[in-house]
A and B are shown apart, each in its own frame.
Chain A
């Protein structure tokens, strides 16, 4: 394994014509009795970007932290070779590590809201590496911090330097975090999920910033769960699974001609325009008798019933009054029709009013103006007592199912509780159990999950239980609010496949909300694009994605990371 990787490294060395900055061979990390990184090897080169891609639990973040000597308590690190420009990192003392961190190796963590100290000024945070490594004087450092903020494209850097992280937007915070990491122009920059939790347009800007550092000759190690994000700037890609690198090579080869089954599976699982109407997973996610064996990749869709909309929004508007007595229109005059068996996608960046729209459609939130109709009948305008019997016709699946379950309830109890609201509630305990098991089988789980606690289930299993619960009262509409956004890409693929399978089987309609354009494109028949509470564009998936008319839609589409750009 090691010799193969060494040969690969040498081959890449020769091809790129650059030497190595960081050389890692046979790196192993164990916590207590479990080995989480199992002998991996890679090389980082000046002016090049190495992407380490993997799903949660693959050991990619532990690897990143090991490279700055911060693996964590109770960890044991061993390696055949761990060299940073001639320094043997295996024999580096804590004191020597402190000299390397910040000056020779920069580190960018995800989500700057929690990665910057909220109580300190942005300028002080950016200047901290300067102070720690004795750059300049107390008087000269603030000016340098402002200069660094300007270099990463923060507008009005003098003002922002005096503000605190919570006063900045997510994108500006992430820029400030990068500014602090590159303050001393370290030759190696490690970015651990630097764009997770950012909107696509902001994500594109942050990636451009890293690309600019690469142009200047910085060696970048980019850690991500998302292959399409790394496609934008990686020169080399290493795919990690369970602490091992399963595939490693030039980005173009790994992304377009993957050799390993796992890489292929990850690539297939990315929803995009190419995956429309097909399954994202190769094998069926649930083995019913009819589907056992090799399922066809294409969907067999039920015809959409265009006679009468099952869910209709008419001029829905929501105004929230802030504590400063200023009214903010969060959703502004939004209308849509959702027909039987159809998926209507709602896409927009954070703060665009997607979730507020969903809550009004569900009649959980009172609209300021306008109303929602269910099966052509009044719905949101009804008094709560008359609305309650109709609730069973509309279900909901949230991003984080755990917070919508009572953590003390078993899966069986969650489902029988939901079955109680059905048109035909179960007449006996045994019937309730039988129907709960049937629901679990429908979503790819089994009777043995009845007694499980939601806390013990994996993220994907929890989302399956949430879908089963939404299906229990046999609704005609399910509102899905970012149903797969918190899941790993392979699990996301399974959940999305499950939703499309259920639609083909039951003819249920989805109001599908997501910030992810790939997911929206994969799932939706028609699409609403929202910005600042307004629908700026709507139409069929093809027309919105292929012939976008509104400049905002065009901007969104160009910002979407694509595999093809590698």
Chain B
């Protein structure tokens, strides 16, 4: 038990290092953008495009600390990070945390719900179709191959046109209401479900041929119980590993989906920030996405250890 706590502590520490590294990269990327930052900012705020005198730029330099040595600016940025300060948005003149904060929850709801629905779809289809006769198995794997290859924007537009515009079952612009979240979640979940299903199916077929499955059958277990109690646990392992990556990928998919369905979220904020060259906001979002990746992978590691204790045993040995 103490060993596993130490292992988790080590993972958390490693995650913090990853986030600081991501912050450092975004910080120096900001510096690498050509041109003087104060000039760019002044042009942005006034809507003009000209060279400003040092006197005109002085207040901005003062406010954002552009005159300080790079090392000091970097330290300020990183220490600010630990205080929950991601800097100030150029365009909105509010702290970046505030700009992102209000939009983060709808996006997280969307991605986490999409991951959950994707898992349900993938497991349901796998359980029902793997090795259930040629026709059913064929249908299952064809469905997975088809959906795995669909791009989000296409799925989103089709769902919108069919279910919101034609059938009027769902609102076209749903906001963050539960009913309005259904179509965006499906948009993200359907391609991911196909992908997770393909991985799970391969493993499922492999595990069904294992001798311990035969042993379970010789004890008088029914086919469905064998699938649920023995095979499933083995078969989900590869897909669990992929889920950490998938949650991160869903965040980028969310940008498109939020646009299609006119849904608030960091996707909208990101698009606006990139268009207006609002570098602190862009960096802030990059950091948030990095944090989501890190947390997701941490959770995946924990889930994996729960499902397959062999791994923890090997690590502790």
Contact = CB atoms under 8 A, between A and B. Distances in A.
Contacts of A119: 233-234, 307-310
B291 to A, nearest CB: 31
B277 interface: no
A115 B217 contact: no
Given A98-B220, A133-B220, A166 B215 contact: no
A103 interface: yes
A121 to B, nearest CB: 9
Contact of B215 (A99, A132, A133, A177): A177
Interface string A114-141: 1111111000000011001100000000
B212 interface: yes
A132 B219 contact: yes
Given A116-B212, A117-B230, A119-B308, 12 more contacts: A68-B218, A101-B218, A102-B219, A114-B210, A115-B215, A119-B307, A128-B216, A129-B219, A133-B220, A164-B310, A180-B215, A323-B317
Contacts, number: 76
B46 interface: no
A101 B219 contact: yes
Contacts of A324: 317
Contact of A115 (B212, B221, B308): B212
A100 B233 CA distance: 26
Given A119-B234, A119-B307, A119-B308, A114 B219 contact: no
Interface in A303-356: 322-324
B234 A102 contact: no
B214 interface: yes
Sort A-B residue pairs by CB-CB distance and give the 3 closest, nearest first: A107-B218, A102-B220, A102-B219
B222 interface: yes
Given A164-B309, A166-B313, A114 B221 contact: no
Contacts of A166: 310, 313
A289 B307 CA distance: 64
Given A111-B211, A324-B317, A117 B216 contact: yes
Nearest to A183: B219
A81 B165 CA distance: 66
Interface of B is mostly: helix
A180 B225 CA distance: 17
Given A117-B230, A119-B309, A166-B310, A98 B221 contact: yes
B282 to A, nearest CB: 43
Given A111-B211, A323-B317, A324-B317, A118 B310 contact: yes
Nearest to B233: A119
A119 B307 CA distance: 7
A70 interface: yes
Interface residues of B, number: 22
21 contacts: A65-B214, A68-B218, A98-B221, A101-B217, A102-B219, A103-B220, A105-B218, A107-B215, A109-B211, A109-B215, A111-B211, A115-B214, A116-B212, A116-B215, A119-B307, A119-B309, A119-B310, A128-B216, A164-B310, A166-B310, A166-B313
A99 B221 CA distance: 9
Interface in B179-228: 210-212, 214-222, 225
A115 B211 contact: yes
B217 A70 contact: yes
B185 to A, nearest CB: 31
A10 interface: no
A542 interface: no
A66 to B, nearest CB: 12
B221 A128 contact: yes
Interface string B297-314: 000000000011110010
Given A119-B307, A323-B317, A114 B220 contact: no
Contacts of B222: 98
A208 interface: no
B230 to A, nearest CB: 5
Contact of A100 (B210, B211, B215, B220): B220
A401 B24 CA distance: 53
B220 to A, nearest CB: 4
Contacts of B234: 117, 119
A10 B202 CA distance: 50
A177 B218 CA distance: 12
A181 B220 CA distance: 11
A109 B218 CA distance: 10
A315 B247 CA distance: 57
Contacts of B225: 132
A431 interface: no
Contacts of B212: 114-118
A110 B218 CA distance: 13
Interface string B231-275: 001100000000000000000000000000000000000000000
A167 interface: yes
Nearest to B225: A132
A22 to B, nearest CB: 15
Contacts of B218: 68, 70, 101-102, 105-107, 109, 181
Contacts of B210: 114
A181 B230 CA distance: 17
Contacts of A70: 214, 217-218
A105 B219 CA distance: 8
Contacts of A97: 220
Interface in B137-159: none
Contacts of A68: 217-218
A114 B221 CA distance: 18
Interface in A27-59: none
A120 B307 CA distance: 10
B249 to A, nearest CB: 28
Interface in B46-102: none
Nearest to A177: B215
A223 B18 CA distance: 57
Contacts of B233: 119
Contacts of A132: 219-221, 225
Given A119-B234, A119-B309, A324-B317, A109 B214 contact: yes
A128 B219 contact: yes
A101 B215 CA distance: 10
A348 B212 CA distance: 29
A118 B217 CA distance: 16
A167 B309 CA distance: 11
Contacts of B221: 98, 128, 132
A109 B307 CA distance: 25
Interface string A156-167: 000000001011
A299 B310 CA distance: 51
A119 B308 CA distance: 6
Q: Which of B212, B218, B225, B233: most chain A CB closer than 10 A?
A: B218
Contacts of A129: 219-220
Contacts of A100: 220
Nearest to A180: B219
A118 B212 CA distance: 9
A99 B216 contact: no
Contacts of B310: 118-119, 164, 166
A180 B230 CA distance: 16
Contacts of A103: 220
A542 B222 CA distance: 55
Nearest to B237: A119
B141 to A, nearest CB: 17
